[in-house]
Amino acid sequence: MKIIFISNNAEKVRTIRLNSWAKYILSILLLGAPLAAGTMLGIKVADGRWQLLFDNSIAEMQHQMVVQKEEVTAGRDQAQNSLAAMTVKLAKLRSRLVRLDALGEQLTEIADLNDGEFDFSSSPGLGGPISSPLARIAEQVEIQDKVSVMFAKLDNSITLRESQLQILKEMLSDDRSKKEQLVSGRPIKKGWMSSEYGMRIDPFHGQKQWHAGVDFAGREGDDIVAVASGVVTWSGERSGYGLMVEVNHSDDFVTRYGHNSENIAEVGSVVKKGDVIARMGSSGRSTGPHVHFEVFRNGRTVDPASYIHRNIR
Tell me the per-residue pLDDT of 188-203, one tens digit each, with 9 for 90 and over.
999 999 999 999 988 8
How many CA atoms does the CB half-sphere of 150 hold within 13 Å?
10
Question: Looking at 117-121, 211-215, 240-244, which range is the least confident one?
Answer: 117-121
Homologous superfamily of the 192-308 domain (CATH): Glucose Permease (Domain IIA) (2.70.70.10)
| Helices 20-110 and 146-181, axial angle in degrees (round to 10) | 20
Q: Which pLDDT does position 251 carry in this prediction?
A: 83
- Of residues 234, 267, 273, 266, the one with CA closest to residue 250: 273
Residue bearing the bigger pLDDT, 272 or 6: 272
* pLDDT digit string, tens, across residues 129-180: 554 555 555 555 555 556 666 667 766 766 776 666 666 666 656 666 677 7
Confidence band for 35, pLDDT divided at 50, 70 and 90 = low
Question: What count of other Cβ atoms lies within 10 Å of the Cβ of residue 129?
Answer: 6
Q: Name the β-bridge partners of 258.
A: 292
- The domain spans of the chain are 2-69, 192-308
* pLDDT digit string, tens, across residues 58-107: 666 666 666 666 766 776 676 667 667 777 777 777 776 666 666 666 66
pLDDT > 70? residue 256:
yes
Q: What percent of the chain has pLDDT over 90?
A: 35
- Of residues 305, 280, 283, 286, the one with CA closest to residue 213: 305
Distance CA 228, CA 181 (A): 5
SS3 246: strand
Distance CA 197, CA 112 (A): 35
Q: Name the β-bridge partners of 276.
A: 225
Q: Which pLDDT does position 57 carry in this prediction?
A: 59
